[in-house]
């Protein structure tokens, strides 16, 4: 594993794992090295650690199963290590070692490293024929294995290889790697180092998404304002689409509003409350959401009864990964103390007949007007703010949406300020996958809108000129003289 082949980053796994190991241990720790690691043993003894080298039989059972050699388990049990370093080269997979070590040394911290089989640089090198792919795990596979065997990640360290491994022009390579990383954030990591330990309780195995179920993630940022959440839950209870579940994200210690259970019974939806601060709570909420479809709504905003039904129907009739409906922004006033806020004004979001990237950048609140089919976006991170770019922009970079341009707005985004949130900004290396004909159509529309705007300005000026000439001929003449100048 440490000897590079074609397409392998030019730095050794063994040296990085040793440095990682020395960062994790302290004097008087007890470290078990599975396999022969003379350099690692010497380095550990130099910092005051007790070391046990556990030789492994080359004919050990393969990763598909079987019992470990009895001498290995006995030696580990007697030594009682605080840390176990997994071997770099072995016939057993990381997943098999996790199962074995959880039984043998449940209190030890496990340290291991591996080349990420799903890294962008490796995928590109394989695509252009410079390598045949790397056997071994991807970061996603390791993450799933940790969950299955009941391990929690104490620290994770990722390293990227320098560009140039694919043989492509550097800017092309960087752009393609960026696209792959936008789809799967772990594709950025070439070399991964993990420190894991047994979790206090083994989490329940996560099942597949429930077909047809819509998971609506509602977050409450202003619990002091009465009535906000109540109106949102009432609008969800009136939705035409079924089945539906609601996951409410609240700050720690927030009091439960009295109307929650009433709306849950009215709408027949399942309900969960999660406490935590944003943005960290998003990942847990998305992990718990069981629906094939997912939507986002801030407490106070409302959706009309047909909103989700239309968006999901548009997805079912086609092959798109997400859909967006027309929406408008309502400015609210708090009203009297203890009273429900009232709406002062409404304005539609400036959307034409086609959804443009500039709309999503200028109006980040459109997050609340979309639905995503999670079975069609692969491993794309669905946290609203991730990779320094908002979710709608990240979705548009890889997946063309269905935009319900016809009809009235069905989503009402409410706010207590007339000022719109600051526009979203994509990171400088952000890439967008756009078919050439789509780009050409957008350019044609932009030119047409520009020509139309210029024509409107000319018509306004011409109309003003005509009225001045008819009603105030003396002023019209004076203005013409000033424009022409003397002579």
Residue 90 has pLDDT above 70, yes or no: no
Instruction: Specify if 8 maps to a domain.
Output: no
Lowest mean pLDDT of 120-134, 253-267, 395-409, name the range. Answer: 253-267
pLDDT mean over 467-486:
58
What share of the chain in percent tops pLDDT 70?
A: 77
Lowest mean pLDDT of 131-145, 241-255, 429-443, 447-461, name the range. Answer: 447-461
pLDDT at 244: 94
Cα 386 vs. chain centroid, distance in angstroms?
5
Instruction: Specify if 207 maps to a domain.
Output: no
Structure tokens at 166: 């694919």
Q: Are residues 191 and 51 both part of a single domain?
A: yes
381-429 tens-digit pLDDT: 999 987 678 899 999 999 999 999 888 899 999 887 777 777 767 777 7
Identify the domain boundary among 433, 451, 466: 433
**Residue pair 411/367 in contact by the 8 Å Cβ criterion:** no
- Cα angle 352, 353, 354; round to 5: 90
Indicate the pTM of the whole model: 0.77
Residue 2 has pLDDT above 50, yes or no: no
Residue 226 has pLDDT above 60, yes or no: no
Structure tokens at 169: 């022009």
Instruction: Specify if 84 maps to a domain.
Output: yes
d(CA 474, CA 471): 9
What share of the chain in percent tops pLDDT 90?
A: 33
Structure tokens at 321: 């990964």
Q: Are residues 22 and 144 both part of a single domain?
A: yes
pLDDT at 207: 66
pLDDT band at residue 125 using 50, 70 and 90 as cut-offs: confident
pLDDT at 479: 54
ω into residue 243 within 30 of 0, thus cis? yes
d(CA 272, CA 246): 6
| Range among 84-98, 264-278, 308-322, 462-476 with highest mean pLDDT value | 308-322
**Residue pair 170/213 in contact by the 8 Å Cβ criterion:** no
Phi and psi dihedrals of 198, rounded to 5?
Answer: -65, 135
Residue matched to tokens 């309780």? 201
pLDDT at 3: 36
Instruction: Tell me the CA distances in angstroms from 74 to 64, 71, 88, 327, 469, one per residue in order.
Output: 22, 5, 22, 65, 105
Residue 256 has pLDDT above 70, yes or no: no
Q: Are residues 54 and 135 both part of a single domain?
A: yes
ω into residue 279 within 30 of 0, thus cis? yes
pLDDT at 315: 97
Identify the domain boundary among 132, 165, 198: 198
Residue 25 has pLDDT above 70, yes or no: yes
Residue 6 has pLDDT above 50, yes or no: no
Residue 132 has pLDDT above 60, yes or no: yes
pLDDT band at residue 295 using 50, 70 and 90 as cut-offs: very high
Average predicted confidence (pLDDT) for the chain: 81
3-state secondary structure the chain: CCCCCCCCCCCCHHHHHHHHHHHHCCCCCEEEEECCCHHHHHHHHHCCCEEEEECCCCCCCCCCCCCCCHHHHHHHHHHCCCEEECCCCCCCCHHHHHHHHHHHCCCCEEEEEEECCCCHHHHHHHHCCCCCCCCCCCHHHHHHHHHHCCEEEEEEEEECCCCCCCCCCHHHHHHHHHHHHHHCHHHHCCEEEEEEEECCCCCCCCCCCEEEEEEEEEECCCCCCCCHHHHHHHHHHCCCCCCEEEEEEECCCCCCCCCHHHHHHHHCCEEEEEECCCCHHHHHHHHHCCEEEEEEEEECEEECCCHHHHHHHHHHHCCCCEEEECEEEEEEECCCCCCCCEEEEEEECCCCCCCCHHHHHHCHHHHHHEEEECCCCCCCCCCCEECCEEHHHHHHHHCCCEEECCCCCCEEEEECCCCCCCCCCCCCCCCCCCCHHHHHHHHHHHHHHHHHHHHHHHHHHHHHHHHHHHHCHHHHHHHHHHHHCCC
Helices 13-24 and 38-46: crossing angle, nearest 10°?
30
Instruction: Specify if 446 maps to a domain.
Output: yes
Q: Are residues 285 and 357 both part of a single domain?
A: yes
Q: Could you tell me which residue, 202 or 426, shows the higher pLDDT?
A: 426
Residue 168 backbone class (left: φ over 0; alpha: ψ -120 to 50; beta: rest):
beta
pLDDT band at residue 67 using 50, 70 and 90 as cut-offs: low
Domain holding 479, by residue range, is 438-484
Lowest mean pLDDT of 38-42, 187-191, 437-441, name the range. Answer: 437-441
The CATH number for 302's domain is 3.90.550.10
Identify the domain boundary among 165, 198, 231: 198
pLDDT at 24: 94
d(CA 334, CA 162): 54
Residue 380 has pLDDT above 80, yes or no: yes
Instruction: Specify if 404 maps to a domain.
Output: yes
Instruction: Specify if 178 maps to a domain.
Output: yes
Q: Are residues 156 and 40 both part of a single domain?
A: yes
Residue 278 has pLDDT above 80, yes or no: no
pLDDT at 129: 84
Q: Are residues 283 and 257 both part of a single domain?
A: yes
pLDDT at 434: 80
d(CA 380, CA 242): 25
pLDDT band at residue 128 using 50, 70 and 90 as cut-offs: confident
Instruction: Tell me the CA distances in angstroms from 100 to 156, 180, 203, 438, one per residue in order.
Output: 21, 34, 18, 53
pLDDT at 72: 76
Q: Are residues 283 and 176 both part of a single domain?
A: no
pLDDT at 473: 63
Provide the number of structural domains found in the chain.
Answer: 3
Instruction: Specify if 204 maps to a domain.
Output: no
3-state secondary structure 38-78: HHHHHHHHHCCCEEEEECCCCCCCCCCCCCCCHHHHHHHHH
Q: Are residues 137 and 67 both part of a single domain?
A: yes
Instruction: Specify if 206 maps to a domain.
Output: no
Cα 159 vs. chain centroid, distance in angstroms?
20
pLDDT mean over 242-263:
76
Q: Are residues 455 and 328 both part of a single domain?
A: no
pLDDT mean over 301-310:
95
Q: Are residues 301 and 161 both part of a single domain?
A: no
pLDDT mean over 349-370:
87
pLDDT at 294: 98
pLDDT at 432: 84
Q: Are residues 29 and 158 both part of a single domain?
A: yes
The CATH number for 144's domain is 3.40.50.150
Q: Are residues 262 and 284 both part of a single domain?
A: yes
């Amino acid at each position: 594993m440490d000897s590079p082949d074609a397409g392998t980053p030019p730095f050794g796994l063994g040296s990085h794992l040793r440095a990682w190991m020395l960062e994790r241990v302290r004097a008087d720790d007890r470290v078990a090295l599975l396999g022969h690691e003379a350099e690692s043993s010497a380095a550990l003894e130099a910092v005051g650690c007790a070391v046990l080298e556990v030789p492994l039989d080359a004919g050990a059972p393969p990763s598909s199963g079987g019992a470990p050699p009895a001498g290995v388990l006995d030696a580990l049990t007697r030594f009682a290590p605080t840390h176990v370093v997994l071997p770099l080269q072995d016939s057993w997979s990381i997943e098999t070692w996790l199962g074995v070590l959880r039984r043998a040394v449940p209190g030890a911290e496990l340290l291991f490293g591996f080349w990420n089989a799903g890294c962008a640089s490796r995928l590109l090198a394989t695509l252009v024929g410079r390598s045949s792919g790397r056997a071994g795990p991807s970061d996603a596979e390791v993450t799933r294995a940790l969950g299955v065997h009941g391990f929690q990640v104490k620290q994770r360290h990722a390293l990227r290889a320098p560009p140039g491994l694919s043989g492509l022009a550097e800017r092309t390579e960087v752009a393609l790697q960026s696209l792959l990383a936008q789809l799967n954030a772990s594709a950025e990591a070439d070399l991964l180092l993990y420190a894991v330990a047994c979790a206090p309780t083994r989490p329940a195995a996560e099942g597949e998404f429930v077909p047809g179920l819509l998971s609506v993630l509602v977050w409450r940022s202003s619990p002091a304002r009465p009535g906000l959440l109540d109106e949102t839950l009432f609008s969800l209870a009136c939705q035409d689409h079924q089945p539906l579940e609601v996951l409410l994200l609240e700050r720690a210690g927030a009091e439960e509003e009295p109307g929650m259970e009433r709306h849950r019974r009215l709408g027949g939806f399942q309900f969960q409350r999660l406490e935590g601060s944003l943005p960290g709570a998003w990942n847990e909420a998305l992990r718990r959401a069981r629906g094939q479809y997912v939507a986002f709504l801030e407490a106070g905003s409302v959706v009309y009864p047909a909103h989700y039904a239309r968006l999901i129907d548009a997805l079912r009739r086609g092959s798109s990964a997400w859909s967006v409906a027309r929406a408008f922004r309502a400015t609210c006033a708090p009203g009297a103390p203890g009273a429900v806020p009232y709406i002062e004004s409404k304005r539609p979001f400036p959307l034409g007949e086609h959804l443009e990237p500039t709309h999503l950048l200028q109006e980040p609140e459109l997050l609340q007007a979309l639905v995503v089919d999670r079975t069609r976006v692969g491993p794309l991170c669905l946290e609203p703010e991730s990779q320094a770019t908002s979710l709608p922009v990240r979705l548009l970079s890889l997946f063309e949406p269905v935009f319900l341009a016809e009809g009235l707005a069905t989503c009402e985004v409410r706010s207590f300020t007339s000022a719109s949130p600051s526009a979203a900004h994509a990171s400088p290396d952000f890439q967008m996958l756009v078919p050439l004909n789509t780009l050409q159509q957008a350019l044609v529309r932009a030119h047409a809108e520009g020509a139309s705007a210029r024509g409107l300005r000319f018509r306004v000026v011409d109309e003003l000129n005509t009225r001045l000439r008819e009603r105030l001929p003396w002023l019209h003449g004076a203005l013409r003289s000033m424009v022409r100048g003397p002579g």
